[in-house]
Structure 1
Amino acid sequence: MLTAGEVAGLIAATGWIVLVCVMVMVLVKLARLLKETTKAVSDLNNRLAPLLDDMSVTVNETNRQLIAVEAITKDVQQVSGHAAKLSAVTQTIFTGPLIKVSSIGYGVRRAIEARRRPGSRARAGGRSR
C-alpha cells in the first residue's frame, strides 16, 4: 500500500498535470487568437493604404473645387454690385425726368381745361387752395 506521503505526492503530481494541461489549452487558444488578430490587422493594413490614397485624392479634388467656387462667388458678388449701381443710376436717370414730364403734362392738361371753360379760373383757384 501507499503511504500518506506517497498519496499526497500523487495528488500533488496529478494536480500539477491537470494545471499544466489547462495552461497548455489556454496557451493554444491564446496562440490562435494572436494568429487571427495578426491576420485581421494585416488584412486591415492592406485595405487601409488604398482607402487613404483615395481619401487624399478626394480631399485634394474638393479643395480644388472649393477654390473654383470661391472665385465664382467673388465674380457673382462683383456682378451683383455692378447691377445694384446700374439700377441706382437707371432710377436716377429715368425717374427724375419722368416725374418732371408727368408734372408738366398735368400742368398743361389743367391749363387746357382752364382755357376751355369760361369762369373756371375761379374754381381752379379755389380747388388748388
Structure 2
Amino acid sequence: MSGGEVAGLIVAVFWAILVSFLAVVLVRLAQTLRRATELVAGVTEQAVPLLGEATAAVRAAHAQLDRVDTITADVQEVTANASALAGTVATTFGGPLVKVAAFGYGVRRAMGRPAPGEAPAARDGAGRVSRTVIAGAARAGGRRGFRRTRGKG
C-alpha cells in the first residue's frame, strides 16, 4: 500500500465514523421530536377541555355580574326613594313638630311649670306669671307659638 491509499483509507474511516455519529444524533433527535409531539398532543388533549370549562366559568361569572349590576341599580333606586321619602317626612312633620314642641315649652313656662332641671317661673305679687316670662315663652314658641293677646278674650 502506498501513502495515498493509506491516507484515503484513513479519510474513509473518519468519514464512516462521522456519518455514523451523525446518524446516531439524527436518530436521537427524531426520538426527542416524537416524544415532544406526544407531549404536546397530551397537553392539548387536557388543555382543550380545561379551556372549555374556563370559558363556561367566565360566562357564568359574567351572568352573575349582570345580576349583581341589576341588583345594584335597584338598590340605588330604593336608596334614592328612601332619601326622598325621608326628606319629605322631615319637611312635612319636622317643622310642625318643632313648633308644637316650642309651643308646649312656652305654655309650660307661662303656666309656671318648669321643665325638668329648670327653676320655677317668676311670679308677681298677685301670683301671676311675670311679663318677662310670657315674653320668653312667646320667643321660645317661634312666630306662631304662644303669644299673649291683649284685650282679646
Shorter-chain-normalised TM-score: which range? 0.7 to 0.9
Aligned to 1:121: 130
Q: Which amino acid in the other structure matches residue 121 of structure 1?
A: S
> Aligned with 1:20: secondary structure?
helix
**Counterpart residue number, 1:32:** 31
Moved more, 101-110 or 28-37: 101-110
d(CA) in 2 for partners of 1:100, 1:127: 15
Q: Separation in 2 of the partners of 1:127 and 1:104?
A: 11
Deviation at 1:123, TM superposition (A): 5.7
Structure with more relative contact order (C-alpha pairs < 8 Å, separation 6 or more): 2
Q: Letter of the aligned partner of 2:31 in structure 1? A: R
TM-score (norm 2): 0.73
1:124 & 1:89 partners in 2: Cα distance? Answer: 35
What aligned pairs does 1:1-129 form with structure 2 within 5 A after superposition?
2-113=1-112, 117-118=123-124, 121=130, 124=133
How large is the Cα RMSD of the aligned pairs? 2.5
Shift of 1:127: 7.9
Separation in structure 2 between the aligned mates of residue 13 and residue 22 of structure 1, nearest angstrom: 14
Which amino acid in 1 is paired with 2:130? R
d(CA) in 2 for partners of 1:125, 1:87: 35
8 A contact 2:121–2:133 mirrored in 1: no
- In structure 2, stretches of 5+ residues that fail to align are 113-119, 138-153
Q: How far 1:107 sits from its partner (Å)?
A: 1.7
Number of matched pairs: 127
Structure-2 change in CA distance of 1:4 and 1:127 (3 Å): same
What residue identity is the alignment partner of 1:49? Answer: V
| 1:110 shift after superposition | 2.5
Q: CA deviation at 1:76?
A: 0.4
Distance 1:72 1:54, change over 3 A: same
CA distance in 2: counterparts of 1:123 and 1:93, whole angstroms: 33
Shift of 1:109: 2.0
Q: Structure 1 length normalisation: TM-score?
A: 0.85
